[in-house]
Amino acid sequence: MTMTRNDDIRVRYAPSPTGKQHIGGARTALFNWAYARRHGGKFLLRIEDTDEGRSTREYETAILEGLAWLGLDWDEGPDIGGPHGPYRQSERYARYTEMAQLLEAKGAAYRCFCTTERLDQLREAQEKNKEKPAYDGKCRDLQPAERATRLAAGEPAVLRFKVPAGATSFTDLIRGEVVFQNKEVDDWVMVRADGTPIYNFAVVCDDVDMRITHVLRGEEHLTNTPKQILLYQALGLAFPTFGHLPLMLGTDGKKLSKRTGDTALQDYRDKGYPKKAIVNFLCLQGWALDGKTEVFGIDELVRNFDPTQVSKAGAVFDLDKFRWLAGEYLRKEPLEELFEHCAPYLVASGRVGREELVTRRAWLLQALALEKDRLHIYSELPERLTWAFAEDRAVVYSEAALINVRKQTDWKGTLSAYLEWLRPKLSDRVAKDALRDATKAWVAERKLKMPALFQPLRCALTGEAGGPDLFDSIELIGAERALVRLETALVRMA
Ligand code: GLU
């Protein structure tokens, strides 16, 4: 595929800092970033903090940090500035006022004095008549003199956009031709009575000023697009190319919510999903590399991302698949690196003291190596190692492991004979391969089936029905601890 360079492409990600970075927003950011990087364009960050009551600098900082952690970088933004700043809406109010005055002067917007009470009554009446709630245009055609008098008297007034008759259409990169009848679009409020701008208005002012060429954003914004396009038209400007990314759905087919999975990027990070797995999984939310390759990195996204190939259908956020993908990446990590990633969870579990990360490092690395193949996310390690940390006289036997033991005839006899045989053979240094071979020979000589010994042995040593190779496990805990576990099992494992 040929790489087209287009220095003119300017895209943006525009989060509202009113909460943690949503995982869906992270995908929007990633796709915009990839589009800019693929074509040598610019990727901007803009903070949409007009909701002053709910926006905080802490959220803003956390959002930026989260995006950088994912591996994204930006060419202009609130932290680094740029030629079209400021990049926080709260710092751009003077510009919105200017644009509002311009639109009012052009007759594209009008002052509306309707009180909340009147609007409430209007809505109630419309609902009663089964009509779609909409502003009835009472203030649309006020005489200029009346308007001036009421304004001069200090009567509160919002600024509404005067939606023209006709239809609004655009070609969406993902959805193709989209048409909205303007009569479905209300004369919406652009500026509140207190002078603060409303989202659809501020976004257009900013996208114009920041020379945005392509707007890739979530499908939930689709109904905002005709309002925004009408504004561009009122300003006599060409509008950007839009692409609405499919909603991310939970496995229940509904909008992603806490019920079917975590919704914040940070939650997945906190749980120890490898960063590359998060990026890869987000890529798969509505886009595919080639229809078959599921595991691929951010470079492949940049080399291949094409918004016209994004699917229209909702993307199912399948946590099982995410976990599987996490495991694929986790296992690719060199052991030392994986250890660094798992270490905080070992400490947080209370099973390993911070200083033990250093003093018992070799042992912990060995333990990690045993469990690596069964791990998916970093935080699973402490739980997976329950058996290794167990107090030797108090190994907890799982019901599944006990069932496997009870299936063996005279497990106690077998285990106790094996213990007598094993005791003199175990020394400080466990020669696990020789021990494995010798044990198999021991089983064969007695004409036993392997499970007759291995099931009770596994339960006695680990309390679990499955897990790493038993001789690796014995090597990890050492001869002394293994013997204590076997001896106590003869009494406890009934
Ligand atoms: N601030 C909007 C949001 O958080 C961004 C909308 C847009 O991209 O136009 O969804």
Is residue 1 scored above 50 in pLDDT?
Answer: no
Rounded mean pLDDT of the chain? 95
Confidence band for 430, pLDDT divided at 50, 70 and 90: confident
pLDDT of residue 428: 64
Residue to probe by mutation, ligand 1, list 217, 228, 244, 255, most atoms within 8 Å of CB? 217
Fold of 93-245: Rossmann fold (3.40.50)
Name the active-site residue from 106, 254, 258, 425. Answer: 258
Counting from 1 in the atom list of ligand 1, the atom nearest the Cα of 228 is 9
Write a three-state SS string for the chain: CCCCCCCCCEEEECCCCCCCCEHHHHHHHHHHHHHHHHHCCEEEECECCCCCCCCCHHHHHHHHHHHHHHCCCCCEECCCECCCCCCEHHHCHHHHHHHHHHHHHCCCEEEECCCHHHHHHHHHHHHHCCCCCCCCCCCCCCCHHHHHHHHHCCCCCEEEECCCCCEEEEEECCCEEEEEEHHHCCCCEEECCCCCECHHHHHHHHHHHCCCCEEEEEHHHCCHHHHHHHHHHHHCCCCCEEEEECCEECCCCCECCCCCCCCEHHHHHHCCCCHHHHHHHHHCCCCCCCCCCCCCCHHHHHHHCCHHHCCCCCEECCHHHHHHHHHHHHHHCCHHHHHHHHHHHHHHCCCCCCCHHHHCHHHHHHHHHHHHHHCCCHHHHHHHCHHHHCCHHHCCCCHHHHHHHHCCCCHHHHHHHHHHHHHHHCCCCCCHHHHHHHHHHHHHHCCCCHHHHHHHHHHHHHCCCCCCCHHHHHHHHCHHHHHHHHHHHHHHCC
Counting from 1 in the atom list of ligand 1, the atom nearest the Cα of 13 is 8
Cα(224) to centroid of ligand 1, in Å?
10
Report domain extents, the chain: 93-245, 335-384, 399-492
Cα(213) to centroid of ligand 1, in Å?
16
Cα(216) to centroid of ligand 1, in Å?
10
Is residue 4 scored above 70 in pLDDT?
Answer: no
Counting from 1 in the atom list of ligand 1, the atom nearest the Cα of 224 is 9
Is residue 6 scored above 90 in pLDDT?
Answer: no
Is 292 an annotated catalytic residue? no
pLDDT of residue 2: 42
Counting from 1 in the atom list of ligand 1, the atom nearest the Cα of 220 is 10
Residue to probe by mutation, ligand 1, list 48, 224, 228, 232, most atoms within 8 Å of CB? 48
Confidence band for 223, pLDDT divided at 50, 70 and 90: very high
Counting from 1 in the atom list of ligand 1, the atom nearest the Cα of 203 is 9
CATH architecture for the domain at 399-492:
Orthogonal Bundle (1.10)
Confidence band for 395, pLDDT divided at 50, 70 and 90: very high
Going by alpha carbons, the residue nearest to atom 10 of ligand 1 is 15
pLDDT of residue 259: 80
Cα(78) to centroid of ligand 1, in Å?
16
pLDDT tens digit string along 258-276? 788 889 999 999 999 999 9
pLDDT of residue 251: 87
Confidence band for 417, pLDDT divided at 50, 70 and 90: very high
Cα(15) to centroid of ligand 1, in Å?
6
Cα(14) to centroid of ligand 1, in Å?
5
Residues with CB under 6 A from ligand 1: 14-16, 48, 203, 217, 221
Confidence band for 5, pLDDT divided at 50, 70 and 90: low
pLDDT of residue 20: 95
| Mean pLDDT of the 148-160 span | 97
